Chains A and B, each alone.
Chain A
Amino acid sequence: MSVLEIKNLHVNVETDQGTREILRGVDLVINEGEIHAIMGPNGSGKSTLAYTIAGHPKYTVVDGEILLDGENVLEMSVDERARAGLFLAMQYPVEIPGVTVTNFLRTAKTAIDGEAPAIRTWLKDVRGAMSNLKMDQAFAERNVNEGFSGGEKKRNEILQLELLKPKFAVLDETDSGLDVDALKIVSEGVNRAHQTTGLGILLITHYTRILRYIKPDFVHVFVAGRIAEQGGPELADRLEEEGYDRYQVAESAVVEAAAE
């Protein structure tokens, strides 16, 4: 039974104006197979949390812990975290010129498994996963994310999720910029990964529409660098109706002041 634990996480970022505190004590436990949705206003620190879990060098952890099955994730390099079973589907996936999707996927799979996948089954897996996500096979020979539309980039993230089979995935606004059909296709991909591998999911979103396809076990309201409230799926509906106002009155003043 895998578990990802985030304890009292405080994270700073260096800006031109000096050090800025963004995460201010995040506590979260995700068990294998659980789906946690995180919703919160722009700038509240959701992506920062996602990047910090993945180990982006821009973010400095000043306090707290991240543990994966008891192992200290903060001591691992970015690639070690991925090999340990963490996956981040990025809000803005990066273009890698000169590196084809095929080559990239094979290299990543080899790194994660510690050995090259058997060619025949691998090609079949890639083709199958692409067709499930309604990605044209031509994408396989294109350079990673280069010239992909926003929606195509998101599909490419989920393609990797399905092929690399992590233990825990953070999906940072994977639903943003998707039309209804694409949203459905991408959600099905996430659900497939969830069902076949017992993936634990941290789903960052602004909209409840994706929660119609991906059913969260828990919903967390993220405001000003920490979790302000948690509940079940019904909390998402309430947020959709009421917005974040009731959490922000006190918090926003603090954040704005810090941002000045």
Chain B
Amino acid sequence: MTAPQQSTAMPTAEQHGIRAHSDGAGAVVPVQTRSERFCSADVADFAPVNGREHEWKLSPVATFADLTGGELDGSRTPVESVEAEGVSVSWIGRDDVRIGTAGLPEDRGSANAWSSFGEAMLIAVTGEEQKTASVTRTALGSAPRAAHTVIEAAPNSRGLVVLRGTGDARLVENVEILVGEGANLTVVSLQEWSDDSVHLASHFARVGRDAKLKHIVVSLGGKVVRLNPSTHLAEQGGDVEALGLYFSDAGQHLEQQVYVHHDAPHTRSRVTYKGALQGEGARTVWIGDVLIGNAAVGTDSYEQNRNLVLTDGTRADSVPNLEIETGDIEGAGHASATGRFDDEQLFYLMARGIREEEARRLVVRGFLTEIVQQIGSPELEEHLIAALEAELQGS
């Protein structure tokens, strides 16, 4: 196959009593092959955001005009880090050779951050022992900020890095993730911001030969959280597991535009994002672009998004896009489903004596913990289960 094939997939009905639904299906058609999308590190190369651009059209752009267009504080963000042997946190200058090697901004917010940051935080992972380190940013205040982070996993290293955000923030940032040859890196980005916070982030990952990245986005708190992870499977045998979990309450906008670029032979990707929506104006957006390039023979790819709607007044957009430029692949598929909480499930549980509240919690917990269980850090899993519990109690 030479011509790029695009499919703005119609959501397909799936098992689990989740019904297909067509919100937003076809709403985002890539204007061109995803890899040809314009990118630049200079904010001046982008026109001011009007909200009609394909990358912004599902986002509440007016609520963060300061981040996409205004002046940003690019000084070091205060961080609390829990380091581990083999993981170090330091600051590097804009001229560091690593910066810009994983990817470049594709939207004005990301470019604004790139143009504005002073120094980048470097999280360096070395050594073959498995270890966990975390970097927490707390109470960044209400003034607009820019940040840049580089996470570098040395060849054959292993580690889990947690980026956590709590308290107030108006933050736009870029995170570059460099996974060296044969490395096995997990990055968890955990958004637990305060109710008024806005956080725009672009993650750019480059996965080296036979390396594996597990990338997990968990968005629970914040008025607007828009986190767009892209992964470039640039070398043979690269593997990405991109997982996401979000719980949108009344008035919350949680968005993720996920992009996986298969650009070398025998690469593998699995994208699984799950979300719950509860309360008036709860809003989620998931766009999943997978591009299987010419060179990517033997690709094995599957992406899915599932949303569980708990109340009226919510909206979930779910748009998978799959472009395939080579016919010689192992497999590629996608699925998207958004469904109401199933009353028959509720009846079944209640018919066994379980109270309605608890029955709902049981089902939602079951739906979302599939992602939590894959994180690989018992403390973090426990923390997240408690956080989800708190979200559910908030009903």
Contact assessment for B17 and A82 in the assembled complex, using a CB-CB cutoff below 8 Å = no
Nearest Cβ on chain B to A84's Cβ, whole angstroms: 9
B312 at the interface (CB under 8 A from A): no
Contact with B along A55-67 (1 / 0, CB 8 A): 1110000000000
Question: With a CB–CB cut-off of 8 A, which chain B residues contact A55?
Answer: 351
> Are A77 and B370 in contact, CB atoms less than 8 angstroms apart?
no
A99 touches B363 (CB 8 A): yes
- The count of A-to-B residue pairs whose CB atoms sit within 8 angstroms is 84
Q: Is there contact, CB below 8 Å, between B350 and A95?
A: no
Closest 10 CB pairs of A and B: A98-B366, A82-B353, A108-B352, A111-B353, A78-B350, A94-B348, A112-B353, A99-B366, A79-B350, A97-B16
11 new A-B contacts, CB < 8 A, other than A94-B344, A96-B348, A104-B352, are: A56-B347, A79-B353, A81-B351, A94-B348, A95-B15, A95-B17, A97-B366, A104-B349, A107-B358, A111-B355, A112-B353
Contact partners of B344 in chain A: CB under 8 A:
94
Instruction: Given A88-B351, A111-B355, decide whether A99 and B362 contact each other with a Cβ distance below 8 A.
Output: yes
Q: With the chains together, A259 CA to B251 CA distance in Å?
A: 45
The interface size bin for chain B is 20 to 34
Measured CB to CB, the closest approach of chain B to A116, in angstroms, equals 13
Q: Which single residue of chain B is at the shortest CB-CB distance from A51? A: B347
Closest to B370 in A: A98
For the complex, what is the distance from the CA of A45 to the CA of B348, rounded to whole Å? 20
Residues from chain A with Cβ under 8 Å of B347 in the complex: 54, 56-57, 78, 94
Whether A160 touches B366, Cβ cut-off 8 Å, given contacts A56-B347, A95-B16, is no
| List of B residues within 8 angstroms of A81 by Cβ | 351
Footprint of B on A, CB under 8 Å?
A: 54-57, 77-79, 81-83, 87-88, 90, 93-99, 103-104, 107-108, 111-112, 143, 146, 160, 164
Q: How far is the CA of A78 from the CA of B352 in the complex (A)?
A: 8
Interface of B is mostly: helix
8 Å CB contacts to A: which residues of B2-43? 15-17
Given A56-B347, A57-B343, also A98-B352 (CB < 8 A): no
> CA of A90 to CA of B370 in the docked complex: distance in angstroms?
27
The answer on a CB contact under 8 Å between A103 and B362 is: yes
Bound together, the chains give a CA A49 to CA B348 distance in angstroms of 16
Considering the complex, give the chain B residue whose CB is closest to the CB of A56.
B347
- Counting CB contacts under 8 A, is B367 at the interface? yes
Measured between C-beta atoms, what is the minimum distance from B347 to chain A in Å?
A: 6
Mask for B369-383, Cβ within 8 A of A = 1, else 0?
A: 110000000000000
Bound complex: CA A83 to CA B366 (Å): 23
- In the complex the two chains form, is A82's CB within 8 Å of B350's CB? yes
Q: Which A residues are CB-close (under 8 A) to B130?
A: none
* Measured CA separation A103–B15 after assembly (Å): 21
B352 partner residues in chain A, CB cutoff 8 A: 82, 104, 108, 111-112, 160, 164
* Shortest Cβ distance from B274 into A: residue: A98
- Check: B354 CB closer than 8 A to any chain A CB: yes
Residues of A with C-beta under 8 A to B350: 77-79, 82
